[in-house]
Structure 1
């Protein structure tokens, strides 16, 4: 049985979250407001003791349990902010909590859970994915009688998150549009069911990563449906299936859903830093990414716009990746491939055509006696329209070029690999993989694939997540492709074939036909 809206209103108003949570500040983003022509405000959930909003829902859930349930203990599965919220709440309530985390979880997150929970938090490392950790948490719940503290699909958790809506209404009662990040949907559900009852004219827009848009998929299907895979960069919203109750509430109370790219999220992290000097985690910057994108797409001026910085638990090493990608997200940089003649002065002539613009990156590769292939990054002052003008000038001057600014494989791998081609034509196939970051992952890969097929290319990147990103090439005879596909399935890693990707064809393929 689902809760009626007025019952959520009651539970949110009476939620005892302020035993542990703070009424977080609403900060005006002065620089971003001036740039976008609206008053933009950010709800600062990074100010919570665990640096995210998850504490509200976790504590509210524990407060709803009976004394018998508290004595038996609780269990949760999480690799991130929910785990820390449960651990902190358990310590305050003096309840034994078992937190099941994947073996791939970075040490910084495991240590944080143990620090927040102290003697009341017992960490269990199980499996290499969230789904495996969740299954183990459910098993422990059944065997030991623990109460499961769900991260989002729970009425009391939703009500706890909804207290943010209560604060927003008090802090900015004339708010016009609110942007809320969506992973499992608990945050958007709790805030929207509260605000829409009291301020029905408020427009609420859900923001999802385009690599984990489970709400958008559910709205299309009319019910929660699992995504085949999710991206790992914004791990705080990397949820395959939206919760049933969050979906019901979002379907009723959220006005629109938009998606944002990884580059747009990186640009939003920089936007937040520029105005607050706070470094948001990727999921925490989702609402600001949505604000920038939505306001640039629509003619909206002079409105009061709100977003929620829902978390700031970022792995420090992720910043290297964010710095690389933020200018692409702001459309202040373009990266593209060009064929230039292999002759003296060709590079100088090419640079002259760029009209004095700043070159941010230049990778050169001799391709034949007649031409060279280059990977170029340039600084833009006027966004994508300026790149289209550059592209027109280059094309008119006889240069073959194409934009790589939206080509994920080019930005993750190829820009670091320009220069390598096999010396002769081979039957090469290229695949991208998500490698779990745990001991033995590479050996499993090599034992499953490397002993059967010749590896022709291998490039690994990790940006502080639980999975590394791998680009690998294999020499696969045509008559062996079915057997190779069977070994891919046996491997069990997320993968996609990239053989036809133009970035590979242009810079790395043994074929000279591109």
Structure 2
């Protein structure tokens, strides 16, 4: 099983490639939670995520013959970019197989770090199958995204940085996908102090670890569905699982809405862009998914910041809805002069801002002398939404919330 010496050796190998990322105290999130929150900004790492650490350690432990033959991997995200840069910095030829549907921004980023990108297959599984074909045909070494002790050890250097910078840390909160990141970090911090608690966080739509822990062996979920694509893994690794069993104290899950809220708060209050997977530790802390004491020193690991811009716009809107800062409502008005003005006057008096109005007289579910109106509104918070809806109903309008804070979902 992975040991501290493996992580210490990895630190020496990756030190000239991976950045020592900041571990910053957050006044905002400390005030919001009552804990003493220190954010580990791995989203500021080279290539935008922690993956460069494990990839560098794996490539630098190859034999001369293996380095000469090159490496290959399959990925459509952070691992692709990490392997590309790690190989380039070690003068090793790299091929990265990506699905044909991979975003062009990620393809270009991977190429810019020095790898040859091969497009093959409609999804990750087909890309991985072809990568293993290249491994056999060209004699390359396959660099696994997480289920490899050298990968795990490289990721564990984050744990060394946390305990070096913040030796008094009580709890470290880490995302879990395949388990490589949390295995390395848990090994490092538990060696520093066995009483440091390690909490793993999965997305509800990709929560394979809870079932695996219950059954005592890695168990695949039928499918994954989450905005946290960096941890959308169907099955924890065979090598990572025993480390998780032994060294991770608790595993919790968060919903996509909770993840979106954390992403928005990091942007707005922390001035930090985190991808969905990178935000899950903070989401778990904000939502009280695990118990902690007042003033407990907590270090959430923001594992990456590579989020697709189209997805980011959706995540921001979902986060605003969840906080009660954006709401969509529907009502039916008598189709007569002044009816709409009356409704809009109520909205204005309650200090809600109108983004959009949709007006429909053709709906067969309403009377011929009525019109259906949908309003997209900017509001302050969930309490403001409650007050606004109460006032609208007091004025005689029947109103339905189409999209709003959690209590209306």
Give TM-score, length-normalised by structure 1.
Answer: 0.70
Per-residue CA shift, 1:132-180, capped at 9, x if unaligned?
1111111211222221100011111011101101110111112222221
Output aligned runs, 1:398-437, within 5 Å: 399=398, 401-402=400-401, 404-405=403-404
Q: C-alpha distance in 2, partners of 1:94/1:404?
A: 52
Equivalent residues of 2:321, 2:403 under 8 A apart: no
RMSD: 3.0
Task: Tell me which moved more, 33-42 or 314-323.
Answer: 314-323
The 1-side partners of 2:200 and 2:373 are apart by 40
1:31 aligns with 2:25: no
Task: Please state whether the residue corresponding to 1:244 is helix, strand or coil.
Answer: coil
Distance 1:20 1:331, change over 3 A: same
1:356 aligns with 2:350: yes
* In structure 2, distance between residues paired with 1:193 and 1:331: 40
Identify the residue that residue 108 of structure 1 maps to in structure 2. Answer: 105
Q: Tell me, yes or no, if the aligned pair for 1:339 and 1:401 is still in contact at 8 Å.
A: no
What SS is found at the alignment partner of 1:113? helix
Conserved? CA contact 1:57–1:159, under 8 Å: yes
- Which residues in structure 2 correspond to 1:202-281 (within 5 Å)? 202-231=196-225, 233-281=227-275
**Equivalent pair of 1:339/1:373 in contact (CA under 8 Å):** yes
Matched, 1:125 2:94: no
What displacement does 1:304 show?
Answer: 1.9
Q: Size of the alignment, in residue pairs? A: 399
Match of 1:57 in 2: 54
Q: Say whether 1:98 aligns with 2:95.
A: yes
Quote the offset at 1:87 in angstroms.
Answer: 1.2
Partner residue of 2:7?
12
Q: Unaligned 5+ residue runs, structure 2?
A: none
Task: Work out whether 1:45 is the aligned partner of 2:42.
Answer: yes
Pick which of 325-334 and 350-359 moved more: 350-359
Superposition deviation, residue 131 in structure 1: 0.8
CA contact under 8 A between 1:264 and 1:330: conserved in structure 2?
A: no
For the residue of structure 1 that corresponds to 2:47, the secondary structure is coil
CA, structure 1 residues 291+299, in 2 after alignment: closer, same or farther (shift >3 Å)?
Answer: closer
Q: What is the CA-CA distance between 1:126 and the residue it aligns to?
A: 0.4
TM-score if structure 2 supplies the norm length?
Answer: 0.86
Which residue in 1 is equivalent to 2:323?
330
How far 1:206 sits from its partner (Å)? 1.7
> Comparing 386-395 with 275-284, which one deviates more in the overlay?
386-395
Counterpart of 2:302 in structure 1 is 309
Deviation at 1:392, TM superposition (A): 6.3
> 1:155 pairs with 149, 156, 164, which one?
149
SS of the counterpart of 1:167? Answer: helix
Q: Tell me what 2:86 maps to.
A: 89
Alpha-carbon distance in structure 1 between the residues aligned to 2:17 and 2:275: 22
Alignment CA distance shift 1:196-1:127 (3 Å): same
